[in-house]
């Protein structure tokens, strides 16, 4: 299924109210769309929540900009309640850097996640501290979704590097596949979905005009990443996680590109249902 097959359905959905579009997408193929709140890093929490609601999205993973780990516990809890009050479903927190080598240093991140009720930490550990992360994941009964960050990442550049590291670990240890960083390593994101199996906990969605250039990000549907094929494979394997848009460009004015991205993705989902 090629990208051009969905252009007209995407355009039609773009004109519809976003909440209505979200309902259509949910019934289109059981693929859940979400927002990584890093996309709204230039905006305070209340505005971030407002914009997510305007997009007609209910799933979020929360970046620390909007729920600071350095806040008192009471402020963390009230901040989390703001998302709940808005009707948003928090699927996790992150991306959280986990550089600490020792358990005592690492524990603060898990306490933070526990205090705000994250069921999953989307994170960037190191090869050397994975054993500590696994131990605490078991203790706190929390999923760990390791985010690959492309060729510049000396620890986990690709989905394969994550999967190789966690293959013999507890089932709570898995992958958050960033499809933009994935294609920059030369990997096929569609095949990576197959390879990950149940270890695939989340996808971070984006698109690139040049599959080798980090700074060539464009609205989803305007680039060269095979979004329809990705969604088709997710449906095929019965993926139960969330596909969260992580929009890293135009930080001061992200809404137009994010609206366009969700319109396109909803069009793809509608096209898959009709196929």
Say whether pLDDT at 215 is over 60.
yes
Pairs from 67-70 (Cβ < 8 Å, separation ≥ 24): 67/93, 67/116, 69/96, 69/108, 69/109, 69/112
pLDDT at position 275, please? 77
The owner of tokens 């008192």 is 72
Percent of the chain residues past pLDDT 90, beyond the cut: 88
pLDDT at position 29, please? 53
Mean pLDDT of 136-160: 98
Mean pLDDT of 126-155: 97
Rounded Cα gap, residues 7 and 269, in angstroms: 12
Mean pLDDT of 180-192: 98
Residue 257 · residue 217 · CB < 8 Å: no
8, 38, 110, 120, 174 from 142: Cα distances, Å: 41, 21, 8, 6, 11
pLDDT at position 16, please? 40
**Domains of the chain from N-terminus onward:** 3-13+31-274 (3.20.20.150)
Each residue of 58-81: pLDDT tens digit? Answer: 999 999 999 999 999 999 999 999
Name which residue leads in pLDDT, 12 or 230: 230
DSSP state of 214: G
Name which residue leads in pLDDT, 30 or 126: 126
Cis peptide preceding 214, ω within 30 of 0: no
Each residue of 83-110: pLDDT tens digit? Answer: 999 999 999 999 999 999 999 999 999 9
The owner of tokens 């996680």 is 241
């Amino acid at each position: 299924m090629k990208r051009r097959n969905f252009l007209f359905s995407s355009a039609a959905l773009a004109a519809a109210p976003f909440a209505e579009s979200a309902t259509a997408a949910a019934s289109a193929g059981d693929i859940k769309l979400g927002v990584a709140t890093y996309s709204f890093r230039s905006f305070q929490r209340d505005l971030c929540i407002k914009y997510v609601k305007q997009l007609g999205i209910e799933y979020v993973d929360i970046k620390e900009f909007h729920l600071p780990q350095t806040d008192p516990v009471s402020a963390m809890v009230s901040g989390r309640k703001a998302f709940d009050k808005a009707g948003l479903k928090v699927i996790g927190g992150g991306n959280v850097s986990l550089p600490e080598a020792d358990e005592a240093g690492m524990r603060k991140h898990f306490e933070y996640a526990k205090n705000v009720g994250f069921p999953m930490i989307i994170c960037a550990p190191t090869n050397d501290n994975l054993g500590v992360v696994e131990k605490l994941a078991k203790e706190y009964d929390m999923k760990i979704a390791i985010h690959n960050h492309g060729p510049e990442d000396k620890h986990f550049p690709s989905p394969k590097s994550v999967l190789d590291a966690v293959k013999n670990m507890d089932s709570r240890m898995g992958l958050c596949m960033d499809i933009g960083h994935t294609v920059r390593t030369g990997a096929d994101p569609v095949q990576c979905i197959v390879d990950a199996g149940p270890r695939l906990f989340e996808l971070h969605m984006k698109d690139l005009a040049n599959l080798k250039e980090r700074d060539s990000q464009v609205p989803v549907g305007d680039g060269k990443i095979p979004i329809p094929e990705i969604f088709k494979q997710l449906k095929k394997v019965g993926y139960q996680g969330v596909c969260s848009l992580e929009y890293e460009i135009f930080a001061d004015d992200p809404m137009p590109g994010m609206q366009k991205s969700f319109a396109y993705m909803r069009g793809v989902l509608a096209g898959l249902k009709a196929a």
